């Protein structure tokens, strides 16, 4: 089992997602659509960004080892529960470590977003 956590100021992500280059580099097409459809897209983007960072920390790699932000996708079920899907190098490292499950929790307030990831 391994864990990772991340916290970020929402204003920092609000500024960053105003750049189309950042928005496309960090978020998958599905994530961009989800974020754009929310009432507070900056808050949603910050939560998803934190989830990706928490997953990278749980993998123990950060963005090294050939992993890109888009190799980690955050989706949500009909009730809003977030899920992580790994692809490419992130999935390879997950499998190399013999993990079988990922749980993610995302929270936010007006100023901060935080995420906690557990890989078993």
Closest listed residue to residue 13, CA positions, set 35, 34, 30: 35
What is 2-119's CATH number? Answer: 3.90.470.20
**Other beta carbons within 10 Å of 17:** 21
Tens-level pLDDT at each residue, the chain (120 residues): 999 999 999 999 999 999 999 999 999 999 999 999 999 999 999 999 999 999 999 999 888 788 999 999 999 999 999 999 999 999 999 999 999 999 999 999 999 999 999 999
Would you list the domain boundaries of the chain? 2-119
């Amino acid at each position: 089992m391994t864990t990772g956590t991340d916290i970020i100021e929402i204003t920092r992500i609000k500024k960053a997602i105003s750049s189309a280059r950042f928005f496309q580099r960090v978020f998958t097409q599905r994530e961009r659509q989800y974020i754009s459809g929310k009432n507070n897209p900056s808050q949603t983007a910050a939560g998803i960004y934190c989830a990706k960072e928490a997953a990278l920390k749980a993998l123990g790699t950060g963005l090294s080892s050939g992993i890109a932000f888009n190799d980690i996708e955050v989706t949500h079920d009909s009730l809003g529960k977030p899920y992580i899907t790994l692809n490419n190098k992130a999935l390879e490292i997950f499998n190399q470590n013999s993990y079988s499950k990922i749980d993610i929790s995302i929270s936010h307030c007006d100023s901060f977003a935080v995420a906690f990831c557990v890989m078993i």
